[in-house]
């Protein structure tokens, strides 16, 4: 890649698509005044749009039947690279609240949609724009100036923070506060929902910790830097990456170094996101005796992973099986 990083390419692609999206926006939004509001809004529900399925799952946990929640990205998609479809403009036009991951995760596709949807309530800085990262513990915040040579490094920190259930709880608390501000009459309902979520998260974390306690300190390699929060939460040691730098495909020289390191350090597990090609990690695994484990970064990555709890159930079970097999 001539730019040396996927992030800068997607920013350029976003700019090139702006005019096309703008034309589609004019066509779609011109007739919205004649469209009847959705039944959910007519019934008094808040219309919530989220950038990802994980945020949608958390909003649903708190909002219950007092909100209608729609995610733009699907759980099986790389959230860095979502095609900005004109149909998303209608979703955003009707939104009372937009919940975004932030930290520039959606920089290549969400800003043009928000700018052109014609909804002043959800513009950045407006009351209907909710940046979930403000409520989370953020890891890997660069301490030096970020340049293209560093790869796809997020200058505000790693945006995959929802993969720590404690961050999920913090975000849910923020969402409950926001929904209560927007619909004061439902504040008590949201508080009860939040309390239930907190209790269930506490119970689930005990179960996940029990499953993972024997593997604390275990060394792993990951494909992309999607897993620092998950690894930190469960005490895993990420020692290297298939990508030499975030977003940059591995060179033969890097793979030789990676294979050598894995052999020396006896690293037997490689975590890979479902939207990356498995050819390279499978090749590394074949030469090191390691296992490739396709973890899910998001709710909906598989059809049975329908909520925030099932996401961790799925990933923890996969990790435990891999570590058991690697003994």
What percent of the chain has pLDDT above 90? 77
The answer to whether 296 and 275 are in contact (CB under 8 A) is: no
Q: Is it true that 6-205 and 210-325 share their CATH fold?
A: yes
The answer to whether 198 and 176 are in contact (CB under 8 A) is: no
Specify the pLDDT at position 4. Answer: 44
Taking the C-alpha atoms of residue 105 and residue 79, their distance in angstroms, rounded to an integer, is 7
Q: Bigger pLDDT: 17 or 193?
A: 193
Taking the C-alpha atoms of residue 275 and residue 257, their distance in angstroms, rounded to an integer, is 24
**CATH of 6-205 among 1.20.58.60, 3.40.50.620, 3.30.70.20, 3.40.50.1980:** 3.40.50.1980
- For the chain, the structural domain boundaries read 6-205, 210-325
Task: For residues 10-22, give the mean pLDDT.
Answer: 49
Specify the pLDDT at position 148. Answer: 60
DSSP assignment letter at 266: T
Model confidence over 87-129: pLDDT tens digits? 999 999 999 999 999 999 999 999 999 999 999 999 999 999 9
Report residue 150's pLDDT band, with 50, 70 and 90 as the boundaries.
low
Fold of 210-325: Rossmann fold (3.40.50)
According to DSSP, the β-strands at 237-241 and 129-131 are: unpaired
Model-level pTM? Answer: 0.87
Model confidence over 18-73: pLDDT tens digits? 444 554 444 444 444 333 444 445 458 999 999 999 999 999 999 999 999 999 99
Specify the range with the lowest mean pLDDT, choosing from 8-17, 95-104, 251-260, 271-280. Answer: 8-17
Specify the pLDDT at position 24. Answer: 46
């Amino acid at each position: 890649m001539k730019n040396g990083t996927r992030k800068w390419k997607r920013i350029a692609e976003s700019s090139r698509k702006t005019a096309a999206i703008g034309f589609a926006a004019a066509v779609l939004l011109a007739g919205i005044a004649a469209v009847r509001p959705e039944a959910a809004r007519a019934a008094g529900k808040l219309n919530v749009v989220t950038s990802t399925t994980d945020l949608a799952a958390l909003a649903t946990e708190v909002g219950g039947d007092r909100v209608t929640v729609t995610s733009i990205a699907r759980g099986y998609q790389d959230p860095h690279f979502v095609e900005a479809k004109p149909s998303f403009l209608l979703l955003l036009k009707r939104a009372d609240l937009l919940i975004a991951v932030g930290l520039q995760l959606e920089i290549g596709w969400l800003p043009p949609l928000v700018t052109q949807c014609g909804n002043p309530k959800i513009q950045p800085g407006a009351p209907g724009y909710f940046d979930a990262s403000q409520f989370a513990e953020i890891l890997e915040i660069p301490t030096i100036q970020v340049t293209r040579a560093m790869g796809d490094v997020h200058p505000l920190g790693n945006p995959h923070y929802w993969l720590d259930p404690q961050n999920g709880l913090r975000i849910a608390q923020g969402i409950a506060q926001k929904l209560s501000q927007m619909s004061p009459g439902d504040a008590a309902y949201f508080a009860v929902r939040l309390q239930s979520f907190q209790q269930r998260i506490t119970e689930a974390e005990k179960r996940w910790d029990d499953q993972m306690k024997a593997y604390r300190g275990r060394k792993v390699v990951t494909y992309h830097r999607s897993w620092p929060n998950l690894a930190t939460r469960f005490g895993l040691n990420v020692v290297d990456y298939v990508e030499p730098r975030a977003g940059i495909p591995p060179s033969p020289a890097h793979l030789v170094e990676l294979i050598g390191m894995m052999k020396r350090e006896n690293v037997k597990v490689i975590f890979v996101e479902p939207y990356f090609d498995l050819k390279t990690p499978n090749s590394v695994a074949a030469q090191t005796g390691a296992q490739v484990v396709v973890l899910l970064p998001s709710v909906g990555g598989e059809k049975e992973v329908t909520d925030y709890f099932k996401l961790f159930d799925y990933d923890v079970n996969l990790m435990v099986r891999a570590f058991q097999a690697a003994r």
